[in-house]
Amino acid sequence: MNLKSIEPPLLEVMNLNTTFSATGAQIPAVRDVSFTLKKGEVLGIVGESGSGKSVTMRSILGLSRRYGETTGKVLWQGQNLVTMPENKIRQIRGGEIAMIFQEPMTSLNPLLTVGMQIDETLKAHTTMSSPERKKRAIEMLDLVGIPAAASRLSEYPHQFSGGMRQRVMIAIALAARPKLLLADEPTTALDVTIQAQILDLILSLAKDFNMGVILVTHDLGVVAQTCEQVAVMYAGRIVEEGAVRAVLKSPQHPYTVGLMRSVPQNVPPRTPLYSIPGTPPSLLALPNGCAFAPRCPNKTQNCGDARPELQHKNGRALACFNKIEAHDGAAA
């Protein structure tokens, strides 16, 4: 018997909902999101801007509490992070579960040196002495590929390039040796070469630390190269989920097919690129039925009247009344 197959999940998210209040209205940013992550596994969450990916990550860590209401369960080592008191979740946040935010210049403190910001994490989540923390900080900067690590501890974020600032963010996130890393579009605004280096670095460190990773991105190419499982989000919900190879080879949700068609492949010069018709719906005025129905080429009357539930079958999950068969997906 494969013991790994019966090992309990590292993280289990069940019926997660996050709602914000604005001008007297309720905005459902995350709706009934459920997924599991195994130890050492890399899960990709993909979707257009505004689909709820980043809010899902912040809801897992309790960072959305200040601005909205979160319900459901986020089980971490038998404890529900959603209902956990703030003083307790702070012990987990940054220590057992770390997060890389998508824009380092708005996440790093411009008034503190890089060394001080790494030291803050180590002081909060380890019992290391000051010399030990400094040694670990140098080790982390060296580990993420920053030259002359010892001399750069005293420098400020503005003295680093965009790619180097992102490496600093990774160093801070991994300093306390977390068991789970949430990476929220860690390569946004970086050039392709640096993007590849950052992704390779995250995967390499995840393997070295046997760490689970949730990678948020809008790029299916990144998902194909880095992830084992993928969840496709639209209007705050997961609409398709499964093993990366299976989902990308035979997507079943029309939205997933649209995302794949939006990736240029062998396109002749001056040929218009494909884009999914229409725009994502406003969270203040979601359709009564399937949120993707107004943009869906396969919609029927049923799609506008009822919301499809996420159904699990044979390792795949799908929320669609008119799924696309394998040959249709390939043709699309």
Report the candidate in 62, 63, 61, 64 with the shortest Cα–Cα distance to residue 27: 64
Provide the CATH number for the domain around residue 284: 3.40.50.300
Tell me, yes or no, whether 46 and 184 share the same domain: yes
Tell me, yes or no, whether 126 and 168 share the same domain: yes
Tell me, yes or no, whether 76 and 201 share the same domain: yes
Tell me, yes or no, whether 77 and 138 share the same domain: no
Digit-coded pLDDT (tens) for 210-219: 899 999 998 8
Stated pTM of the model: 0.91
Digit-coded pLDDT (tens) for 278-331: 999 999 889 889 999 999 998 988 898 999 999 999 899 999 998 887 544 443
**Measured distance between the N- and C-terminal CA atoms of the chain, rounded to whole angstroms:** 40
Domain range for 91? 7-96+178-264+274-331
pLDDT above 90 as % of the chain: 67
What band does 5 get if pLDDT is binned at 50, 70 and 90? low
Tell me, yes or no, whether 91 and 205 share the same domain: yes
Q: Which of 157, 176, 195 is the last residue of a domain?
A: 176
Average pLDDT over residues 114-123: 96
Q: Is residue 1 part of a domain?
A: no
| Amino acid (1-letter code) at residue 255 | Y
Q: Is residue 102 part of a domain?
A: no
pLDDT value, residue 331:
38
Q: Which of 154, 176, 198 is the last residue of a domain?
A: 176
Q: Is residue 304 part of a domain?
A: yes
pLDDT value, residue 66:
86
Report the candidate in 99, 62, 83, 32 with the shortest Cα–Cα distance to residue 238: 32
d(CA 242, CA 227): 11
What band does 189 get if pLDDT is binned at 50, 70 and 90? low
Flag the least confident range among 110-114, 217-221, 248-252, 327-331.
327-331
Query: What is the tally of structural domains in the chain?
Result: 2
Tell me, yes or no, whether 83 and 218 share the same domain: yes
pLDDT value, residue 90:
93
Full strand arrangement of the beta sheet holding 237-243: 97-100, 180-184, 212-217, 42-46, 229-234, 237-243, 316-318, 311-313
pLDDT value, residue 2:
53
Contacts 24+ apart (CB under 8 A), 116-124: 117/168, 117/172, 118/153, 118/171, 118/172, 118/175, 121/94, 121/95, 121/172, 121/175, 121/176, 122/175, 122/176, 124/90, 124/94, 124/95, 124/176
pLDDT value, residue 22:
81
Tell me, yes or no, whether 79 and 132 share the same domain: no
Strand stretches in 220-319, DSSP E: 229-234, 237-243, 311-313, 316-318
Tell me, yes or no, whether 154 and 213 share the same domain: no
Q: Is the pLDDT of residue 1 over 50?
A: no
Average pLDDT over residues 106-110: 91
d(CA 295, CA 311): 21
* Residues 6 or more apart whose Cβ sits within 8 Å of residue 318: 239, 240, 241, 252, 253, 310, 311
Q: Is residue 2 part of a domain?
A: no
Strand stretches in 197-298, DSSP E: 212-217, 229-234, 237-243
Tell me, yes or no, whether 224 and 258 share the same domain: yes
Report the candidate in 252, 239, 231, 230 with the shortest Cα–Cα distance to residue 289: 239
Average pLDDT over residues 65-82: 94
Q: Is residue 269 part of a domain?
A: no
Tell me, yes or no, whether 245 and 327 share the same domain: yes
- Which run of H or of E encompasses 184? strand 180-184
Residues 97 and 61 sit within 8 Å (Cβ to Cβ): yes
Average pLDDT over residues 129-152: 94
pLDDT value, residue 326:
59
Q: Can you read off the two tokens belonging to residue 115? A: 């060394």
Report the candidate in 63, 84, 85, 64 with the shortest Cα–Cα distance to residue 73: 84
Q: Which residue would you say has higher pLDDT here, 253 or 264? A: 253
Q: Is residue 169 part of a domain?
A: yes
d(CA 212, CA 332): 33
Tell me, yes or no, whether 84 and 233 share the same domain: yes
pLDDT value, residue 327:
44
* Residues 6 or more apart whose Cβ sits within 8 Å of residue 208: none
Tell me, yes or no, whether 223 and 251 share the same domain: yes
Q: Which of 176, 194, 211 is the last residue of a domain?
A: 176
Q: Which residue would you say has higher pLDDT here, 303 or 190? A: 303
Share the mean pLDDT of the chain: 90
